[in-house]
Structure 1
């Protein structure tokens, strides 16, 4: 029970500001009358208010374990105070909290800053992402201990940029200098713009949102130099290829290609991005701060750096163009029941363009879209489908083509970078796209949010559960820290036999057997 009395300084919930601080001037049973610093008088149940640390320094603390009260309003206030001074990094023990500054802070991430954190003990200097990377590297070198750095947070929190800084610092520590050829670390860093072009998109909350999860495994030799790397990707948001909401965009590469030099546009039979169905479902075609024409050239240059040949680049963008043309193929009802035909000359043009760019037979492509093949014990039966089913087939083909292109791209980058089979020391960096909640969440969003809940459970396990169990074992005098344990949420989704995913599997099995 909190010791709330008259004169106590507390935090109370506020519908606009989340929390406001104030002073209790009256206690009425279980209710406290509070005069806030914003000039309001509120009444709140004592169980819903939190004590304020009146001895906390006005500039905040760089490690939140030093706060007298590690509760939500105390944590948020400390972060807000530091953020107002452009201090975006704060520790909670050995965990770093980073807040997106939404601006470039070059002095915070330059080479001189890297030099300063090299070899420094965690906590000796101001909190920084370089300090986390340095601890990970030193632990690997000194103890021969491989480890991973987990970057998590909501969409738009700055995870991708933080991951880039981690990679830059590890390349700074373990990079090779004076070599004529492209080094492993250069190729790993240069793979970022390539993967971003094909796996990132503008969303409501973030102009460069990762729509896939990425785990980069950096391998080191016995001397601590980077000797190989592997990139593994997860959960590419395939539905975005065919369906976007305003004011979001599809994957960057579509807009980059539509802004390519005229000879490329002519080659791929492209034009105004607003003329393509997969792009014009949203009113957002251009994004402030993103020059699509420049980014197209930068992506081609990055492909050169990671070893993707000119011929391969041509093939990659042929596939991207073909996907756009597929989206403009529309269908009309055929003469027979449950049949469809290509709707008009415009659709016929895009069908011919898609077939030509994909180097496949136009008639076979058309048949694949307006017909369906069913395998039976007697053989394959071909049936026609209506316009709606043909549209579903079109979108399914587009998603499958793009997904396979993305997988091929990742494998090609890995092959170019090269892996070190003799390495037994590695550092992994995980960047997975963040938790989001929409009015209607797709199944993909459920999987993304579930993944983030699993990561949160990992955080809870390491920060709260294991630490407090250790305090108990060592009989240390301590106060139990309350935290939200999301295990019930995970059980609801994944526990067998009654979890949501298990029930979906069962329902799917029944529907397919019917």
Structure 2
């Protein structure tokens, strides 16, 4: 899939580079203007490797649309396959809190035989490293790699954040510390993958990061509503904050929750509609849209030397594609 995503993206780029713009500028009137236009046209041809351009007509436009559709389809398959692989370890991470039954969670302690809670986070990182390696080996455009992992991190964010809001056993101090451990692992992964491939993935975890900051906060009873909303959890809605405060339990030190005044302020805002969120649910939804356009791919790509790109084994074995391995 990664091989075909790379090839179709390259073909789409080359096709677009060969198409003339439908809108034509008015013809120059002076001799000097015509000379300038000729010079710019020659320079443009040299810059793109003297690619012969032609007027875009129906067959070419339809072919471009089909190429774009294939790129989007394969992108979705790769993204969904990674989600499916990650879902097992994500479920295990959430299940750790559910099975702890009030005991403090230690990411490094052994449980379930020789499988420690930390190994589930390691499994998430391992799967992303494997997929990133495959995408890089097949020269998938970095912009598409960024979009894949941005949506993957948004998926991870929704899974953990929603678990805080619907599972009382997950909304605890010890589980907040456990998820914080995982967030450190994910932040390290983004740094190692570099911005070229990770893009804004780390920013997709903002709801989970702020919820964890609340869960592990000491002396919650002394914090005001304004401090929670403006400093600690600015991206969370009042409905989401209310759920966190209502479900939270300190299973390690049995310290008190937020004050009654904070809870009263939240209830008042929810009842008078001043914090109306448009009727949307307080839970996060998984985004399955295609987060890029054909233009995004075209702008990000540059003419590159593909001599080191190895064709797929299935094509090499097919006599009709022997030209791919010929010098």
TM over 0.5: no
> Which structure has the highest helix share of the two?
2
* Higher alpha-carbon Rg: 1
In the superposition, the TM-score normalised over structure 1's length comes to 0.21
In the superposition, the TM-score normalised over structure 2's length comes to 0.29
Larger RCO, structure (CA 8 Å, separation 6 or more)? 2
